[in-house]
A and B are shown apart, each in its own frame.
Chain A
Amino acid sequence: MPFDSAQPVIELSRLTVRFGTRPILKGLDARLYGTSIGLLGPNGAGKSTLIHTLLGMCPVAEGTAKVMGHDIRKEQRRIRSFVGYMPEGDAYIADMSAVAMVRMMGELSGLPPEAALERAHEVLFYVGLGEARYRRLGTFSQGMRQLAKLAQAVVHGPRLLILDEPTNGLDPAARTRMIRLIQQIRSSGKVHILLCSHLLADVEQICQEVVILKDGWLIADVDLDAQRRCDRRFLDVEVWDGADQFAGAMAGLGCTCSSSGQGRISMILPEGLHLQQVYQTIVDLDVPIRRLSYRTDSLEQIFLRAMESADGGL
């Protein structure tokens, strides 16, 4: 059944999950539409629990959630049929070869045996384990196991790929490769991605939309694409003297300036203004500069602001 793009990929309605009496997810409400959605948050924020709940591994205490329009309380089996899941921790059968395990997982997702075998070879080549596909998984390195996990997650051609910390334990080269693979899968346009990570750089490289969790609360839902589109640039300057004169000149160049006293000026640079012009103004006015720092509105700043914000408003 084709997925209606007007429908949210994931819809959370007062979703509450408890382990015993301890609440883990506290009434989450969100509608996520992005092709690639990032789940961010510090350790213990409830990221993995949210994923497990969407997959039906954690019982829902209150509220509900929908995955591509299917209710997790009523249509669990259906949801699992179009979801591919790459768990965070180890997940392999040590005495099976990579191709046998990936094939079996494909068959469990409903692929006929011959098609599953063909797909197993195909995805193992795709993730870069082609040469090692007949080796037992118990002999694989950490990086190879991560790739094997990715292979089993995509073998059945899922419509939603859930990746829980996919770059865990990978060296820089393997991490870059893993991110490139995920970006390629996303670019195919046939798969939505839900990426759970505490590595901001990974999420920034892959995701369009980011949800930030903290202590079981959803504290921010950010459209990274929109953020990137407005892509605000900031300049913080501290001068020894002539702050007002400098601020006036910068306002003339289209900057939005605010002065906080003691020669400190914060500016939002307009689109098209090059830093070269700022330096030229400084030279022209002969303003003695004490400090100058340039920054963009990065995910890191969004994340830190969300963490610091009491109510999570951005």
Chain B
Amino acid sequence: MAVYKQQYRPYEGPRTSPIWRFLVPLRYSYAKILQSRLLVLLLALCMFYPCACATIIYLSHNSPALAALRLRSGILPQVDGRFFYFFCTVQGSLAFVLTALIGPGLVWPDLANGALALYLSRPFARLEYVASKMTILVLLLSTITWLPGLVLFAIQAGCVGWDWAVDNAWLAGAILVASIVWIVVLSLIGLALSAWVRWRTAAGVAVLAVYFVGAGLGRAINNIWQTRYGYLIDLGEVMNTVWAGLFRYYRGPGLSPVHAWLMLLLVCLVCIKALASKVRGLEVVR
């Protein structure tokens, strides 16, 4: 509209489908996230280990290259459940760091100045809002966890052959499930803390505290009471137990996989409850 024609004109154009509307905040969030050089650098660093793994897989099936590098074939790790377990552990840790950096900035800016009322007074439900914010983390963390994991699986399958892929299809499933479970847990923790701690830095510290304080406290409980149940509040241990079970890798005595899965479920439910109590159009004082 020309500046000189300053008069109210209603909008009568087309409308988009409500199904994909939850992608709108996601687009704006990505535009903001990718403005941060630190995050882009970190994302690039997150690709270092998958690239190293891909190189290992390539070299382990390429004798001339090994010979050229003067390496023995036995020196390289075998590509099996253990290999992918460690891949998930490394990438999972990096996913955690990314969540601590990105998560706090997702919900908090909307809650800090009452902007949530603007979202929720539109044809946009609370569930869509949470789904939108969660998708930001899910997509970002997927690029450094199961996506490169499956690429590694495909490279290995390409090098060894179709039979290997069929025999080890469970590995692809384990990569997918292990990564997605971790991503969901991290996303929910990140969003819940972002909703509850209305100071970005403090929310980031709180995400880290969930991991490290839980780990320290868990080990203290184990030492004082001579038990293994302290691991239940050690998120890293809980997740490692789940991954070890999925990749059929024995880590020694620790938590039972059932307890670990139940603990993850509990963490998710607590986070959902925390989000539900904060993500509202208005705060009700009873």
**Chain A interface residues toward B at CB < 8 A:** 19-20, 22, 52, 55-58, 77-78, 80-81, 83, 85, 87, 89-96, 100-101, 104-105, 107-112, 115, 119, 121-122, 125-126, 130, 152, 154-157, 181, 184-185, 188, 190-191
Q: When the two chains form their complex, are residues B121 and A83 in contact, meaning their CB atoms are under 8 A apart?
A: yes
A107 contacts B24, C-beta separation under 8 Å: yes
Q: Are the C-beta atoms of B123 and A125 separated by less than 8 Å?
A: no
- A57 with B121: CB separation less than 8 A: yes
- 22 intermolecular pairs with C-beta atoms under 8 Å apart: A19-B284, A55-B121, A56-B281, A58-B284, A80-B124, A81-B123, A87-B114, A91-B113, A92-B115, A93-B115, A94-B109, A105-B118, A108-B119, A108-B124, A109-B123, A110-B15, A110-B21, A111-B15, A119-B11, A126-B8, A184-B7, A184-B8
Whether B6 lies near A125 (C-beta < 8 A) is yes
Q: Whose C-beta in chain B lies nearest to the C-beta of A186? A: B8
Q: For residue A154, which residues in chain B have a CB less than 8 angstroms away from its CB?
A: 8
Determine the distance from Cα of A95 to Cα of B32 in the docked complex, in whole angstroms. 9
A126 to B119, CA, bound (A): 22
Select B281's contact among A57, A78, A125, A188, beta carbons within 8 Å: A57
Please give, as numbers and ranges, the residues of chain B lying within 8 Å of A184 by CB-CB distance: 7-8
Interface pairs A-B: 3 shortest CB-CB: A157-B11, A57-B281, A110-B15
Among residues 95 to 130 in chain B, which have CB atoms less than 8 Å away from a CB atom of chain A? 109-110, 112-115, 117-125
**What is the chain B residue whose CB lies nearest that of A81?**
B123
Using known A-B contacts A87-B118, A109-B123, A130-B3, determine if residue A115 contacts B11 with beta carbons closer than 8 Å: yes
Task: State whether B7 touches A126 (Cβ < 8 A).
Answer: yes
- Known: A57-B117, A77-B125, A110-B21. Is A125-B16 also a contact (CB below 8 A)? no
Inside 8 A of B32's CB, which chain A residues have their CB? 95
Q: Is B285 an interface residue (CB 8 A)?
A: yes
Q: Which of A57, A93, A121, A184 has the most CB of B within 10 A?
A: A93
In this complex, what residue of B is CB-closest to A112? B16
A95 CA / B106 CA spacing, docked (Å): 12
B9 within 8 A of A: yes
Residues of chain A within 8 A of B167, CB atoms compared: none
- Which residue of chain B is the closest to A162 with respect to CB atoms? B121
Q: A110-B123, A125-B3 are in contact. Are A85 and B113 (CB under 8 A)?
A: no
Which chain B residues numbered 238 to 286 have a C-beta less than 8 Å away from chain A?
A: 280-282, 284-286
A52 lies within 8 A of B8 (CB): no
- Please pick, from B14, B18, B286, the residue contacting A77 in the complex, using a CB distance under 8 A: B18
Please tell me which one of the listed residues A57, A83, A90 contacts residue B113 in the complex, with CB atoms under 8 A apart: A90
**Contacts A58-B284, A108-B21, A109-B123: A93 and B113 contacting too (C-beta < 8 A)?**
yes
Q: Which of B13, B113, B286 contacts A94 (CB 8 A)?
A: B113
Contact B118–A89 (Cβ < 8 Å): no
Query: Roughly how many angstroms separate A230 CA and B285 CA in the complex, as a whole number?
Result: 43
Rounded to whole angstroms, the CA-CA distance of A85 and B282 in the bound complex is: 13
Q: B30 → chain A, closest Cβ, in Å?
A: 13
- Separation of A56 and B123 alpha carbons in the complex (Å): 11
Contact A57 B24 (CB under 8 A): no
| Measured CA separation A91–B122 after assembly (Å) | 14
Q: Which residue of A lies closest to B128 (CB)?
A: A108
B163 contacts A by Cβ under 8 Å? no
Quick check: is B10 within 8 A (CB to CB) of the other chain? yes
Check B21 against A57 for contact (C-beta < 8 Å). Answer: no
Contacts of B281 in A (CB 8 A): 52, 55-57
Is the Cβ of A107 less than 8 Å from the Cβ of B16? yes
> Does B216 have its Cβ within 8 Å of any Cβ on chain A?
no
Q: Cβ of A115: which chain B residues have Cβ within 8 Å of it?
A: 11, 13-14
* Complex alpha-carbon distance, A90 and B109, angstroms: 12
With most chain A CB atoms within 10 A of its CB, the pick from B32, B110, B121, B123 is: B121
Contact assessment for A80 and B14 in the assembled complex, using a CB-CB cutoff below 8 Å: no
- Whether A94 pairs with B8 at a CB distance below 8 angstroms is no
User: Which residue in B3, B18, B282 is a CB contact (below 8 Å) of A57?
Assistant: B282
- Whether the pair A111, B16 counts as a contact (CB closer than 8 A) is yes
Q: Given A19-B285, A111-B16, A130-B3, 4 other A-B contacts at CB below 8 A? A: A77-B18, A95-B32, A126-B8, A188-B10
In contact, A91 and B117 (Cβ under 8 angstroms): yes
Which chain A residue has the least Cβ–Cβ distance from B24?
A107
Asked whether B115 lies within 8 Å of A91 as measured between CB atoms, the reply is: yes
- Which A residues are in CB contact (< 8 Å) with B14? 112, 115
Q: Name B1-35 residues within 8 Å CB distance of A.
A: 1, 3, 6-16, 18, 21, 24-25, 28, 32
Task: Report which of A83, A101, A112 forms a contact with B13, defined as CB distance below 8 A.
Answer: A112
**B85 nearest CB across to chain A (Å):** 40
**Could you tell me the distance in whole angstroms from the C-beta of B175 to the nearest C-beta in chain A?**
35
Within 8 A of A (CB), among B158-184: none
Q: List chain A residues, Cβ under 8 A from B12.
A: 157
